[in-house]
C-alpha cells in the first residue's frame, strides 16, 4: 500500500458498516482522516461499531440523522447497498459533497495493478477462474478483492506492487467511483437487473460502464462481443478493446471454434476439458483466458487452472457424484436468466431440477423453453404453483410440489439414476424460506450428504 495524503486531516463520513464499511473506516483512520462512522444498527447489536469506537473513531448508530452532514464533512464513503434515495445521501448531493464507495478509496492507495470484472452474470466465476489460473503459475501473485467478499480497502493494505488485484465490481460499487481506473477491465455481459436500486435500465448500464471511464489506450477492456449493446458501447471508450465470443471468430480476441477455446488464433484447450459445464462458463473462461494471456501466463497453466476449476460455491458448483448421479448446487440462480444458463449446460432428458422460491409477482414464461424435456422438476417456495404451471405448458409430466428442502432432496433422489444430473437452480430469490441464497445452498448440500449417507 502506498501512503496517500489525499485523506489526511479530512472530515469523512463512512455511511454503513458491514465488512466494506469497517475496512474503509480503518483505512481512513490509518491515513489520518477524521472519521465519523454511521450505521443504522443500534450499538448494542453492532460489534463492528463498538470495535471502531474502542479504536477512537466517532460512531453514530441507530439511524442516519441528517445533522451528521455539518459544514465539516468533505467526503462520504458509503456502503454500496445503501441507495442514493436515502435522505442523508440526497442531502449530501444537494450540498455537493462527493460520495464514493470503498473501491475508489482502495484505488488511491493501491501499489498493485488492478483487474476489474463486472457484468450482470458470470463476474464471480470469471474472477475466480482468473485467480485459479494465476495460482497455477505463482501462488499469491493474484489477490481476490471487491464484491467477491474481500473489500478492496482491506486487501490493499497488505498488497505489494508485485501483486495483482482481481476485483469483482458490482454496479452499486462502480456508480460510486470517480477516478478509479483498472489496468484491465472485463464486462461479461449486460442484462436488465437491479432496477429497484438504479431506477432504470439505462442508469444500471451507465453504472456498469463506469468501469472504463478513466481508462486510456494503454489499458485493455475485454468485453462480450456477442452482445450488440456492448459492441456499440465500446465504440466510445478510449481503452484498447478485446472481444470474446462463442458465436463467431474474433481474430483480435478470444473465441470458441471447432471445440477449441482460442486466443488470437492460438488454441488453448478443448471446451470439453473445462471443469464446469455450460456455454455461459465457456464465455467466462474466454474472458479469463484473455486476461491471463495479456499477463503472459502460459497456455499450460491456463489449461491446468481451468481444467481443475470446479466452480464457485452456489454457482453451478459441482458437489459430487453419487451412484453415478452428478449433483450441482446453483443456489445463486436467483433469477430466470441464471437458471436458463445453468440448464443450458445439461441434457434435460437426464436432469432432475429443484427450483422455486420467493414470489416476486412475476411469471415464468421466459423460463419455459429451458424446462422443456426435463426428466423431473421438484418445486418449493412461494412461487411453486406459478412455476408448476409453466412446466406443464411445455409438457413436463413429472412435477412434484414440496414444502421443505429436505423433502425436495428426498423426492429428487427417488427420481434420479446413474448418468442423471440433480441440479438445484431455483430461478427465484431465497427470502421466503432463507436469509440468503448461501444458506439455501448450504441446506441443499447438507441434505444431499445426509440423505445419500442414509441410503448407503
Residue 299 lies in a domain: yes
**Radius of gyration, CA atoms only, the chain:** 23
112 and 93 co-located in one domain? no
110 and 46 co-located in one domain? no
Q: 191-221, pLDDT tens digit by residue? A: 887 887 898 999 999 999 999 999 999 999 9
pLDDT at 160: 94
pLDDT at 456: 41
Q: 117-126, pLDDT tens digit by residue? A: 999 988 989 9
User: Contact at 8 Å (CB) between 330 and 423?
Assistant: yes
322 and 173 co-located in one domain? no
268 is written with which cell numbers? 488453448
| Arithmetic mean of pLDDT, 77-103 | 94
The residue among 43, 77, 100 that closes a domain is 100
pLDDT at 360: 82
Q: pLDDT class for 294, splitting at 50, 70, 90?
A: very high
d(CA 43, CA 123): 35
Residue 172 lies in a domain: yes
Of 54, 85, 66, 81, the residue nearest 13 (C-alpha): 66
Average pLDDT value for the chain: 93
pLDDT at 207: 96
283 and 143 co-located in one domain? yes
The CATH number of whichever domain residue 113 belongs to comes to: 3.40.1190.10
| Arithmetic mean of pLDDT, 316-332 | 90
- Write phi, then psi, for 190 (nearest 5 degrees): -135, 120
Residue 285 lies in a domain: yes
| pLDDT beyond 60 at 455 | no
The number of residues in the chain equals: 456
Q: pLDDT class for 59, splitting at 50, 70, 90?
A: very high
261 and 368 co-located in one domain? no
d(CA 368, CA 344): 13
| Arithmetic mean of pLDDT, 308-316 | 83
Sheet strand arrangement including 266-270: 142-146, 164-168, 113-118, 184-187, 220-224, 240-245, 254-257, 260-263, 266-270
Of 104, 173, 167, the residue nearest 131 (C-alpha): 167
291 and 149 co-located in one domain? yes
Q: 383-425, pLDDT tens digit by residue? A: 999 999 999 999 999 999 999 999 999 999 999 999 999 999 9
The CATH number of whichever domain residue 423 belongs to comes to: 3.90.190.20
d(CA 396, CA 375): 8
pLDDT at 454: 57
142 and 254 co-located in one domain? yes
As beta bridge partners, residue 328 has 318, 423
434-440, long-range: CB < 8 A, 24+ apart: 437/314, 437/331, 437/332, 437/334, 438/313, 438/314, 438/331, 440/331, 440/357, 440/405
Of 344, 397, 402, the residue nearest 374 (C-alpha): 397
116 and 135 co-located in one domain? yes
Number of domains in the chain: 3
Residue 257 lies in a domain: yes
Query: pLDDT over 90 for what percent of the chain?
Result: 81
The residue among 307, 333, 356 that closes a domain is 307
| pLDDT beyond 80 at 50 | yes
| pLDDT beyond 90 at 314 | no
The residue among 76, 100, 124 that closes a domain is 100
d(CA 266, CA 47): 53
Find the domain containing 431 and state its range.
317-455
In our burial notation (b when 16+ CB lie closer than 10 A, e otherwise), range 140-179 reads: eebbbbbbbebbbbbbbeebeeebbbbbbbbbbbbbbbee
In our burial notation (b when 16+ CB lie closer than 10 A, e otherwise), range 350-376 reads: bbbbbbbbbbeeeebeebbebbeebbb
| pLDDT beyond 80 at 149 | no
pLDDT at 18: 84
Of 173, 184, 178, 175, the residue nearest 151 (C-alpha): 173
Give the CA distances from residue 405 to residues 82, 214, 353, in Å, rounded to whole numbers and listed in that order: 32, 47, 12
In the three-class reduction of DSSP (H, G, I as helix; E, B as strand; rest coil), residue 121 is classed as coil
DSSP per residue, 392-412: HHTT---EEE-SSHHHHHHHH
Residue 5 lies in a domain: no
275 and 376 co-located in one domain? no
Residue 84 lies in a domain: yes
24 and 56 co-located in one domain? yes
Of 382, 267, 20, 301, the residue nearest 134 (C-alpha): 301
pTM of the model: 0.80
Residue 1 lies in a domain: no
H helix and E strand count, the chain: 17, 20
| pLDDT beyond 90 at 5 | no
Residue 128 lies in a domain: yes
d(CA 260, CA 265): 10
205 and 115 co-located in one domain? yes
246 and 365 co-located in one domain? no
pLDDT at 139: 86
Q: pLDDT class for 44, splitting at 50, 70, 90?
A: confident
- Residue 378: in which H helix or E strand, if any? strand 376-379
User: Mean pLDDT highest for which of 2-11, 87-96, 144-153, 276-285?
Assistant: 87-96
pLDDT at 285: 97
The CATH number of whichever domain residue 84 belongs to comes to: 3.40.50.720
**E runs forming strands in 138-284:** 142-146, 164-168, 184-187, 220-224, 240-245, 254-257, 260-263, 266-270
| Arithmetic mean of pLDDT, 329-358 | 92
Amino acid at each position: 500500500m502506498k501512503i496517500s495524503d489525499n485523506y489526511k486531516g479530512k472530515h469523512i463520513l463512512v455511511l454503513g458498516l458491514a465488512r466494506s464499511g469497517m475496512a474503509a473506516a480503518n483505512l481512513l483512520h490509518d491515513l489520518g482522516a477524521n472519521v465519523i462512522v454511521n450505521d443504522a444498527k443500534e450499538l448494542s447489536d453492532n460489534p463492528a461499531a463498538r470495535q471502531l469506537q474502542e479504536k477512537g473513531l466517532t460512531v453514530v448508530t441507530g439511524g442516519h440523522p441528517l445533522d451528521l452532514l455539518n459544514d465539516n464533512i468533505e467526503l462520504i464513503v458509503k456502503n454500496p447497498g445503501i441507495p442514493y434515495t436515502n435522505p442523508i445521501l440526497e442531502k449530501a448531493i444537494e450540498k455537493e459533497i462527493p460520495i464514493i464507495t470503498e473501491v475508489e478509496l482502495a484505488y488511491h492507495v493501491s501499489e498493485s495493478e488492478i483487474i476489474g470484472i463486472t457484468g450482470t452474470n458470470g463476474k464471480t466465476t470469471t474472477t475466480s477462474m482468473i485467480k485459479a489460473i494465476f495460482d497455477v503459475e505463482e501462488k499469491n501473485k493474484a489477490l481476490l478483492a471487491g464484491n467477491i467478499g474481500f473489500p478492496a480497502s482491506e486487501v490493499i493494505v497488505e498488497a505489494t506492487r508485485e501483486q495483482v488485484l482481481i476485483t469483482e465490481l458490482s454496479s452499486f460499487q462502480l456508480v460510486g467511483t470517480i477516478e478509479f481506473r483498472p489496468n484491465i477491465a472485463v464486462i461479461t455481459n449486460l442484462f436488465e437487473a437491479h432496477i429497484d436500486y438504479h431506477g432504470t435500465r439505462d442508469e444500471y448500464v451507465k453504472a456498469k460502464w463506469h468501469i472504463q471511464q478513466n481508462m486510456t489506450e494503454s489499458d485493455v477492456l475485454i468485453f462480450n462481443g456477442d452482445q450488440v449493446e456492448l459492441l456499440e458501447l465500446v465504440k466510445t471508450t478510449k481503452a484498447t478493446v478485446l472481444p470474446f465470443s462463442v458465436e463467431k471468430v474474433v481474430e483480435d480476441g478470444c473465441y470458441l471454434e471447432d471445440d477449441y477455446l482460442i486466443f488470437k488464433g492460438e488454441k488453448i484447450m478443448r471446451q470439453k476439458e473445462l471443469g464446469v459445464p455450460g456455454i455461459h462458463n465457456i464465455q467466462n473462461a474466454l474472458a479469463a483466458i484473455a486476461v491471463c494471456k495479456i499477463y503472459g501466463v502460459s497456455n499450460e497453466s491456463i489449461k491446468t487452472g481451468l481444467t481443475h476449476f470446479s466452480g464457485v460455491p452456489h454457482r453451478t458448483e459441482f458437489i459430487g457424484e453419487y451412484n453415478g448421479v452428478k449433483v450441482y448446487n446453483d443456489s445463486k440462480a436467483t433469477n430466470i436468466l441464471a437458471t436458463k444458463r445453468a440448464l443450458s449446460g445439461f441434457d434435460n432428458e437426464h436432469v432432475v431440477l429443484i427450483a422455486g422460491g420467493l414470489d416476486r409477482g412475476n411469471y415464468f414464461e421466459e423460463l419455459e423453453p429451458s424446462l422443456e424435456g426435463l426428466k423431473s422438476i421438484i418445486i418449493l417456495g412461494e412461487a411453486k404453483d406459478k412455476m408448476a404451471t409453466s412446466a406443464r405448458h411445455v409438457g413436463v409430466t413429472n412435477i412434484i410440489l414440496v414444502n421443505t428442502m429436505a423433502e425436495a432432496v428426498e423426492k429428487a433422489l427417488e427420481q434420479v439414476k446413474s448418468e442423471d444430473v440433480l441440479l438445484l437452480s431455483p430461478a427465484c430469490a431465497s427470502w421466503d424460506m432463507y436469509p440468503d441464497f448461501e444458506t439455501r445452498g448450504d441446506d441443499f448440500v447438507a441434505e444431499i450428504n445426509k440423505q445419500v449417507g442414509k441410503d448407503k
